[in-house]
């Protein structure tokens, strides 16, 4: 362990960490939005659309993220899609995670008790109102824990972006290791940064979950 070395490379490590957080948060947010849209669209009784979206989910869940990223970054130009490494990385994370988020939201919709929807139907509420006021809140609450889980997994998938030269944390760590021949120091620094990220995500997630489900526990709710 060499503190001087770590100190010297700290600026590049911090910049790498910044890029990691940026790619993860933007990619994750886009993935959430896209995944939600897919789950919602799959509820429409239009078969071709359902099949198409199902195929999308199967492809992006069923193939390695690394391969998707390569295709997007190196194969993209062949179909006129010229992206910078970072843009390709963010888009790749968004597409990849959207497939998982779509499944999480689908399960969330499935977890809404039929009785709650029947109650809304029996008072004559319109389908859109039922969706907005009954189905969605219940589905989102059910989906919150697996969403936080997926976001944590996604934060660690960002290391793959180093392979298409996105200057994120893994990339900086590899550079540091190559320039100084110190594998351990570099890896140690990386572990600390990732731990920092995951720890704050899971804490934030736990707080959000608690807030969302406070009313479910007899003592926890604030009226």
Partner 1 sequence: MNAPMIELVGVGKSFGAHEVLRGVDLSVGRSEVVCLIGPSGSGKSTLLRCVNFLESYDSGDVRIDGRLIGYQDLPGGVRKPMSARRLREMRREIGMVFQHFNLWPHMTAISNVAEPLRRVRGLTAGEAADRATAMLSRVGLGGRAHAYPSQLSGGQQQRVAIARALAMQPQLMLFDEPTSALDPELVGEVLEVMRSLAAEGMTMLIVTHEMGFAAHVADRIAFIDGGRIIDEGPPRHVFHHSQEPRVRQFLQTYHDRNSF
Binding site for partner 1 (CB under 8 A): 113, 115-116, 118-127, 129, 133-134, 137-138, 141, 215-218, 221, 223
Under 8 Å between Cβ of 138 and 112: yes
Closer CB to partner 1, residue 25 or residue 121? 121
Between the CA of residue 136 and those of 39, 106, 194, 222, what are the distances in Å? Answer: 12, 11, 33, 21
Between the CA of residue 142 and those of 56, 78, 138, 212, what are the distances in Å? Answer: 23, 41, 6, 10
CB of 157 to partner 1, least distance (A): 32
Under 8 Å between Cβ of 16 and 171: yes
Between the CA of residue 91 and those of 7, 100, 167, 171, 184, what are the distances in Å? Answer: 33, 15, 15, 18, 32
Alpha-carbon distance of 114 to 45, in angstroms, equals 19
Token digits for 157? 């998938």
CB of 217 to partner 1, least distance (A): 6
CB of 151 to partner 1, least distance (A): 22
Closer CB to partner 1, residue 48 or residue 218? 218
The length of the chain is: 223
Closer CB to partner 1, residue 6 or residue 138? 138
Alpha helices in 42-84 (DSSP H): 47-62, 65-70
Token digits for 215? 């009313």
CB of 28 to partner 1, least distance (A): 25
The single residue listed with the structure tokens 């996105």 is 166
Closer CB to partner 1, residue 38 or residue 120? 120
Closer CB to partner 1, residue 47 or residue 217? 217
The single residue listed with the structure tokens 């919150």 is 144
CB of 131 to partner 1, least distance (A): 11
Closer CB to partner 1, residue 14 or residue 119? 119
CB of 95 to partner 1, least distance (A): 32
């Amino acid at each position: 362990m060499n503190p001087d070395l770590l100190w010297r490379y700290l600026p590049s490590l911090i910049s790498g960490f910044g890029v990691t957080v940026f790619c993860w948060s933007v990619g994750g947010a886009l993935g959430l939005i896209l995944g939600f849209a897919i789950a919602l669209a799959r509820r429409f009784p239009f078969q071709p659309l359902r099949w198409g979206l199902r195929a999308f989910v199967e492809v992006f869940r069923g193939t390695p993220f690394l391969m998707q990223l390569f295709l997007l970054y190196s194969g993209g130009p062949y179909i006129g899609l010229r992206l910078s490494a970072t843009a390709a990385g963010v888009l790749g994370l968004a597409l990849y995670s959207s497939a998982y988020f779509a499944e999480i939201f689908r399960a969330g919709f499935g977890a809404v008790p039929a009785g709650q929807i029947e109650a809304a139907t029996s008072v004559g509420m319109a389908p859109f109102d039922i969706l907005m006021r009954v189905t969605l809140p219940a589905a989102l609450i059910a989906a919150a824990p697996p969403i936080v889980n997926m976001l944590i997994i996604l934060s660690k998938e960002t290391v793959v972006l180093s392979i298409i030269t996105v200057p994120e944390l893994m990339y900086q760590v590899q550079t540091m290791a190559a320039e100084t021949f110190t594998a351990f120091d570099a890896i140690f620094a990386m572990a600390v940064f990732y731990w920092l990220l995951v720890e704050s995500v899971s804490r934030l997630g736990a707080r959000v979950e608690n807030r969302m489900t406070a009313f479910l526990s007899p003592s926890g709710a604030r009226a």
